[in-house]
């Protein structure tokens, strides 16, 4: 009964208010627009954005989103549905995997850890590739583990899901599964064990699934695709900073603490005697490889380590099972400390939010602070009474996630996107016959919601050339560039918070 309820709540979290806010710039909006253009053009091989080839990611996620568009129409819900579905399937997959291994109690706890988390809420509600990638990499590695310890036929799943990961986000779809499997098998069986990974028939299946699109893409777009896809968006993203997303080596430590709170506190118990447990040791290699790999990357974002979250959730679930059998004060002290720290941070943040965001209802910050303090109360109660506090923790986490979903995300969306959305509607309704450009802004949501192609101008020289050549030119820009544009003979047609539309006089 409790098992089924937890799984249903996981589905509820994945779908709750999925289409309630407009698409966020940049990634959500650009995926949604590129998929819309794919449907309109009928070009199922080369994604385009603004009618220009987009080589950032492989094709599979666009196909999944296209199918969602076909079923639900072109809207926010359908753009995010593939991620929500992938997240829930991943949640079920971890549960089933642990049940196959006869770890039934840990199977329940892993759903709590994975689905009742900020990571799960955010990335099931994001129209980006990360949850789909996490699903395929996880299924690949589950298949590998089952092939080693249950039935060699599972090796086909290892190759099939690696191929799908390769079609979802490129080379890491191959690098992660094969590297993790290789490291594990070397630890367990020595270098000669590597041959257990390779299966010629399964490899042929891998090639049949993954190669046709890559071969076709190279045949059509040649060096341009190779340069953009492999060089820029793989090697340069790893070795250099893309889009300003730089972070220190320890970047992912606080990300993990926040993203998996409060369950991350049971990690220390899950790590005990880990070398004696093959599954946990395998999960540790899986988690550590991805964490270390991206910690050395120059470009860092929270979503990068999403494929490692199932692995660390498995380790944590064992720690929770151990705690149930032998309650320890350590994880509860960690929860109490973190929750008080978060509560203090929210209280300190109130004054700054009042200063910079005067229209924000700070009541909800106080509510979150109370929830955090309740975490501390529950944890200290658990220390005193040595009681199982998982149900209380799950309820508080659910309340926290609902506040984030109902109040925080809508406000963040309003702050970042409302003016852009109104700008898009103005362009769509009033400027149908005009030539429209954006100037020094990269906001794909304008293209998506205005339902028209809007080329981007990035330099003053190009702008001046465009102004001289076109009598009916319209410019969408941020307010910081208004003075410069007005000095060049443009007048404001529409102005919102942060953005404006101008025309040539």
The string of DSSP letters for 347-402 reads HHHHHHHHHH-TTS-THHHHHHHHHHHHHHHHHHHHHHH----HHHHHHHHHHHHH
SS3 state at 249: coil
Q: What is the DSSP string of 262-321?
A: TGGGGHHHHTTTGGG-HHHHHHHHHHHHHHHHHHS-SB--GGGGGGGHHHHHHHHHHHHH
Q: What is the largest CA-CA distance in the chain?
A: 78
Angle at 401 between CA 325 and CA 11, to 5 degrees: 80
- According to the per-residue pLDDT averaged within each range, which of 130-134, 380-384, 498-502 is highest? 130-134
What pLDDT shows up at residue 461? 85
Residue 406 has pLDDT above 90, yes or no: yes
Query: How many Cβ atoms from other residues are within 10 Å of residue 468's Cβ?
Result: 10
pLDDT at 218: 92
C-alpha 362/C-alpha 412 separation (Å) is 13
How far apart are the C-alpha atoms of 29 and 384, rounded to whole Å?
50
Q: Are strands 435-439 and 473-478 parallel, antiparallel or unpaired?
A: parallel
265 in Cβ contact with 331 (< 8 Å): yes
Structure token pair of residue 436: 């429209």
Instruction: Give the pLDDT of residue 241.
Output: 53
> How many angstroms separate the CA atoms of 158 and 477, rounded?
48
Minimal CA–CA distance to 66: which of 23, 34, 24? 34
Cis peptide before 391 (omega within 30 of 0): no
Contact predicate 157/206, CB 8 Å: no
Taken as a whole, the chain contains a residue count of 505
CA distances from 394 to 229, 337, 423 (A): 42, 18, 41
Assess whether the previous peptide bond of 73 is cis (omega < 30° from 0). Answer: no
pTM value is 0.94
List beta partners, residue 477: 439, 500
| Confidence (pLDDT) at 163 | 98
Lowest mean pLDDT among 15-19, 109-113, 494-498: 494-498
Q: Is 52 in contact with 59 (CB distance < 8 Å)? A: no
**How far is 294 from 151, CA to CA, in rounded Å?**
32
- 423's CB contacts (< 8 A; 6+ apart) are 446, 476, 494, 496, 499, 500, 501
What stretch of H or E contains 405?
none
Q: How many CB atoms lie within 10 A of CB 169?
A: 25
Query: Sorting pLDDT into bands at 50, 70 and 90, what band is 449?
Result: very high
Ramachandran quadrant class, 452 (left: phi over 0; alpha: psi -120 to 50; beta: rest)? beta
C-alpha distance from residue 186 to each of 193, 282, 428 (Å): 6, 11, 59
Confidence at residue 245, expressed as pLDDT on a 0 to 100 scale = 60
Mean pLDDT score, 211-233: 88
Query: Tens digits of per-residue pLDDT, 342-357?
Result: 999 888 877 777 777 7
Residue 239, pLDDT above cutoff 70 = no
Lowest mean pLDDT segment, chosen from 126-130, 390-394, 468-472 = 468-472
Residue carrying structure tokens 């992938």: 86
Residue 216 has pLDDT above 60, yes or no: yes
For 178-203, write each residue's pLDDT tens digit.
999 999 999 999 998 898 899 999 99
The β-bridge partners of 52 are 49
Task: Round to the nearest angstrom and report the end-to-end CA distance of the chain.
Answer: 69
pLDDT in tens, 285-310: 999 999 999 998 877 899 999 999 99
């Amino acid at each position: 009964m409790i098992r089924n309820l937890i799984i249903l709540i996981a589905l509820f979290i994945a779908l709750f208010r999925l289409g309630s806010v407009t698409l966020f710039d940049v990634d959500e909006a650009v995926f949604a627009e590129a998929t819309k253009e794919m449907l309109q053009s009928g070009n199922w091989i080369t994604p385009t954005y603004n009618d220009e080839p987009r080589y950032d990611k492989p094709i599979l996620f666009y196909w999944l989103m296209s199918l969602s568009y076909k079923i639900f129409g072109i809207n926010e819900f359908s753009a995010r549905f593939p991620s929500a579905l992938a997240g829930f399937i991943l949640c079920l997959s971890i549960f089933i995997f642990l049940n196959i291994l006869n770890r039934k109690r840990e199977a329940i706890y892993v759903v709590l850890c994975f689905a009742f988390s900020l990571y799960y809420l955010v990335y099931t509600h994001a129209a980006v590739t990360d949850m789909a990638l996490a699903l395929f990499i996880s299924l690949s590695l589950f298949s590998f583990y089952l092939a080693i310890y249950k039935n060699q036929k599972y090796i086909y799943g290892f190759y099939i899901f690696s191929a799908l990961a390769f079609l979802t986000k490129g080379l890491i779809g191959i690098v992660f599964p094969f590297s993790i499997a290789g490291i594990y098998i070397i630890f367990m069986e020595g270098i000669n064990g590597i041959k257990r990974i390779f299966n010629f028939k399964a490899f042929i299946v891998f090639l049949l699934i993954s190669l046709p699109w890559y071969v076709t893409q190279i045949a059509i777009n040649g060096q341009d695709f190779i340069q953009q896809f492999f060089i820029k968006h793989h090697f340069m993203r790893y070795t250099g900073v893309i889009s300003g997303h730089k972070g220190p080596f320890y970047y992912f430590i606080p990300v993990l603490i926040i993203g998996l709170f409060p369950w991350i506190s049971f990690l220390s118990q899950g790590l005990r005697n880990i070398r004696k447990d093959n599954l946990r040791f395998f999960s540790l290699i899986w988690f550590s490889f991805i964490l270390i790999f991206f910690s050395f990357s120059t470009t860092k974002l929270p979503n990068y380590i999403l494929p490692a979250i199932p692995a660390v959730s498995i380790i944590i679930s064992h720690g929770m099972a151990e705690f149930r059998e032998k309650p320890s004060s350590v994880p509860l002290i960690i929860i109490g400390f973190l929750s008080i720290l978060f509560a203090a941070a929210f209280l300190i943040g109130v004054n700054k939010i009042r200063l910079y965001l005067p229209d924000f209802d700070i009541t909800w910050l106080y509510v979150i602070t109370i929830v955090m303090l309740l975490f501390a109360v529950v944890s200290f109660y658990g220390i005193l009474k040595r009681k199982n506090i998982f149900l209380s923790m799950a309820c508080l986490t659910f309340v926290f996630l609902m506040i984030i979903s109902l109040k925080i995300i809508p406000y963040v969306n309003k702050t970042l996107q409302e003016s852009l959305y109104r700008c898009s509607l103005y362009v769509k309704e009033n400027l149908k016959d005009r030539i429209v450009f954006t100037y020094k802004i990269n906001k794909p949501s304008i293209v998506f919601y205005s339902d028209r192609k809007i080329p981007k101008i990035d330099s003053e020289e190009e702008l001046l050339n465009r102004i001289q050549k076109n009598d009916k030119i319209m410019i969408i820009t941020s307010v910081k560039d208004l003075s410069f544009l007005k000095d060049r003979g443009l007048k404001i047609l529409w102005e919102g918070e942060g953005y404006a539309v101008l025309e040539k006089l």
